[in-house]
Amino acid sequence: MKHITIIVPAGKGTLATVTCIASAIEVFATANNYWKQSGKKELFRIESAGVSKKTEIYDSMFTVKPQINISAIEKTNLIIIPPVAYHDTKTIKEDQLLLKWITQQYKRGAQIATMCSGAFMLASSGLLNGKNCSTHWVHADTFQAMFPEVKLQADQLITDENGIYTNGGAYSFLNLLIYLVEKYYNRQTAIYCSKMCQIEMDRNSQSPFTIFTGQKQHGDEMVKKAQTYIESKLDEKVSTGHLSSRFSVGRRNFDRRFIKATGNTPIEYAQRVKIEAAKKAFETTLKTINEVMYEVGYTDAKAFREVFKKLTGMSPLEYRARYNKENSLKVV
């Protein structure tokens, strides 16, 4: 029988920590039961493990007690790391023993799955350096600043590379669990778990849920002024040449500084600002798609649809139908 270790962090946990631990146990227990009903043996033994006797969460409203200390686990097959409040050095220090154990187990062949901000814990071990990774889109800027050597894929719901799985934010961890069930059991077991737990299968992007606010946690004042300028010109097409000239910086140097500060080229940044404004219009107004398109500076309907779908994973019509039912009935 294989072994799953669900980590109970020693550092500061969140409400999501409790939810993810409980759900991971439930989904894999459901998969085990399905196999037993099919005449097969349980595939996994599921245990929660940590280095402390208990972890207090949400002002002690919840207490999570690991079933076992990690020191008692010689070998495991899959390690699941739930979300943690991992944005400060104190939390990282509290989990050093866990990180050392996780790294040792990975070198021995264990696979690792992180949920939401659990990626911060794994990234601090160095195991994600040079690899693709996802986390909650709201943490993207902080994550990139803390771990520049990790290839953050903030739009991706799930990444799968070299035995390491990561996923996006909030309740998308449920999609990761179904993905892992299919990976370790089979497709039919995953379908059964998705039906029993009512989890939508085969989601691969968190783009529809992303709220773009602009990466401004940097110290380049020129770039901040350029960002503000772009955001003030929603209905205009702003070129890189115009921006570099306006701020008296050579074009090549302007591009380099802008990308370093924001993670986007100036054109990509302008696209994201415009599409975010379009999304809000679709959510809250009765304007047609063409009206919104013109308001955010597009005159080519095909180009607008292509950029919108690239950034949200949905067409303008699909997005409007999902988030504004009254508007979805209106003719384009």
Residues 63 and 116 in one domain: yes
Do the domain assignments include residue 203?
Answer: yes
Q: What is the pLDDT of residues 60-87, one digit of tens each?
A: 889 999 999 999 999 999 999 999 876 5
Q: Are strands 2-7 and 78-81 parallel, antiparallel or unpaired?
A: parallel
pLDDT higher than threshold 70 for residue 236: yes
In a domain, 98, yes or no: yes
Same-domain status, 200 and 250? no
Q: Are residues 22 and 123 in the same domain?
A: yes
Strand 62-64 relative to strand 55-57: parallel, antiparallel, unpaired? antiparallel
Residues 193 and 253 in one domain: no
Q: How confident is the model at residue 88 (pLDDT cuts 50, 70, 90)?
A: low
The yes-or-no verdict on residue 145 having pLDDT over 80 is yes
Q: Give the CATH number of the domain where residue 247 resides.
A: 1.10.10.60
Q: Determine what percent of the chain is predicted with pLDDT higher than 70.
A: 95
Instruction: Give the domain CATH number at 15.
Output: 3.40.50.880
Residue 243 lies in a domain: yes
Q: Residue holding tokens 């996006």?
A: 168
Q: Are residues 22 and 133 in the same domain?
A: yes
List C-alpha distances in Å: 271 to 47, 72, 165, 181, 238: 46, 52, 30, 37, 10
For residues 188 and 320, membership in a common domain is answered with: no
Structural domain including 294 reads 221-328
Q: 182 and 141: one domain?
A: yes
Shared domain for 201 and 227, answered yes or no, is no
* Confidence check: pLDDT of 39 > 90: yes
Same domain, 229 and 202: no
Regarding whether 22 and 83 lie in a shared domain, the answer is: yes
Tell me the average pLDDT of the chain: 91
Residue 286 makes CB contacts below 8 A (sequence gap 6+) with: 326, 327, 330
Which of 208, 235, 251 is the C-terminal boundary of a domain?
208
Considering 208, 230, 254, which residue would you say is the last residue of a domain? 208
Number of domains in the chain: 2
Final residue before a domain boundary, out of 208, 229, 261: 208
